[in-house]
Chain A
């Protein structure tokens, strides 16, 4: 089992390494200008020599995205409980929530910047908004996922409401929630970066645009690589957490 995982990891790593090698050879052989596509070696150099700058920006973006992710999920889940408890709220609110989910949230950033001002507040609010809707929708669908038979059994056994949640509704909701986390964890990184365009002069999102404006293309690529790594790390963290928590077989949604 472990051997197979290691083997798979090795194969993937070698595929990536091969790709980088081809990229390196091609850029050298074809003399690709640096503004089109810098050599991987040059990007790595830029990463190393600007490591302080990039690390600081990475930490800032990760913090803002993390705060937003936690806040958005808390809000979404609390609201999901209200929706599930009250039929009236859910009938009026659910189509509204689903409609709002398809609002181009990222395009809201200029508006948020004007309302919440230039600074970290806007960035966190953006990340909250991005994580909120997946949590809300997943929470509602998940808490409602138990079969009517299971719910009826709980009622027949005279189980208190709290127990129904703890033993039935919440475990049933977990797969949906983790599916939402896997979307919103990288998305909150993305949201934070967008908001940094308009509402900050630091962080990964700002650094990409700034490096481009100054024609520092290797640095720009180094930041793009770091941002991608951060988004992937967020996704992987959500996946690992999912595997740790959900130890029972689930039909994939």
Chain B
């Protein structure tokens, strides 16, 4: 209820900002050629729809593959950590160390390893999703209530059943939180991975900058932002629809 009104007032503010921006542009027209009016950006989106869509397609493919594979691997690592505590003690610091390698530093390296193409951006996107998922899923799998675990043990449930029936449901809210981070991060990772490449939204941004195509740059930027944002909103929608029962969801946001 309050959330909806919040969104409404946000939309009003957003529209207000855009209107002010547009008026300011009209009044001191062409003073700032680097910041086009919203209407000009809108027109540019229509005009450049074709190149933007062609490149966006690639980025979306990379981001989705990266999101799925990164999240699945992250969950697998979390399951390993929870099933074999020794593995966590041995690997946790290694994982944290790898996580702290800046993605920006990895992207040029991946480009050298895999060459120009879809692979390097996909891996960057996957890495961006892997760590939030691994960390949150580990916490989530641990969040199962002790009494539920005891009950399952008393009922002679197999470890697999315990995982499936108790731990996995308990970790769902945590995993959705991770996905809320991962979905925009996948788009971002793919984009950064494409910077040094020859196709995709990242490449388009980069080449628009180098060639000083200001309107193309803004148009691509707006579309990329909208895509990342809709990834976030999609996961938020899923969250509200499917894991609304969890106090972790209601308490957290």
Stretch at the interface among B156-164, B168-176, B217-225: B217-225
The reply on B40 being an interface residue by CB < 8 A is no
- Tell me if B224 and A104 are in contact (CB < 8 A): yes
The reply on B29 being an interface residue by CB < 8 A is no
Stretch at the interface among A147-155, A167-175, A225-233: A225-233
Chain A residues proximal to chain B, CB less than 8 Å: 12, 15-16, 19, 35-36, 91-96, 99, 102-104, 106-108, 110-111, 113-115, 186, 189-190, 193-194, 197-198, 204-205, 208-209, 212, 217, 220, 223-224, 227-228, 231-232, 235
The reply on B85 being an interface residue by CB < 8 A is no
Looking at the complex, which one of A15, A107, A209 makes contact with B108 (CB distance below 8 Å)? Answer: A209
Nearest chain B CB to A217 CB, angstrom units: 8
From known contacts A95-B10, A96-B10, A209-B196, infer whether A198 and B187 are also in contact, taking CB-CB under 8 Å. Answer: no
CB neighbours of B106 from chain A (8 A): 224
- Tell me if A228 and B225 are in contact (CB < 8 A): no
Nearest chain A CB to B72 CB, angstrom units: 22
CB neighbours of A194 from chain B (8 A): 104, 192
If over half of B's interface residues share one DSSP class (helix, strand or loop), that class is named, otherwise mixed; here it is helix
The reply on B23 being an interface residue by CB < 8 A is no
From known contacts A91-B9, A106-B192, infer whether A224 and B184 are also in contact, taking CB-CB under 8 Å. Answer: no
- Tell me if B217 and A114 are in contact (CB < 8 A): yes
CA distance A36 to B115 in the complex (A): 12
CB neighbours of A208 from chain B (8 A): 104-105, 108
**A93's closest neighbor in chain B, by CB?**
B13
CA distance A103 to B191 in the complex (A): 12
- Tell me if B102 and A189 are in contact (CB < 8 A): yes
CB neighbours of B90 from chain A (8 A): 15
From known contacts A115-B34, A228-B105, infer whether A107 and B9 are also in contact, taking CB-CB under 8 Å. Answer: no
List 18 interface pairs A-B (beta carbons < 8 Å), by A numbering.
A15-B90, A16-B97, A92-B9, A95-B9, A96-B14, A102-B184, A107-B192, A107-B205, A107-B221, A111-B221, A114-B34, A115-B34, A193-B105, A224-B101, A227-B101, A227-B102, A228-B100, A231-B102
- Tell me if A107 and B191 are in contact (CB < 8 A): yes
Q: How many A-B residue pairs have CB under 8 A?
A: 130
Task: Please tell me the size bucket of the interface on B.
Answer: 35 or more
The reply on B116 being an interface residue by CB < 8 A is no
- Tell me if B102 and A99 are in contact (CB < 8 A): no
- Tell me if B202 and A107 are in contact (CB < 8 A): yes
**B187's closest neighbor in chain A, by CB?**
A104
Nearest chain B CB to A92 CB, angstrom units: 4
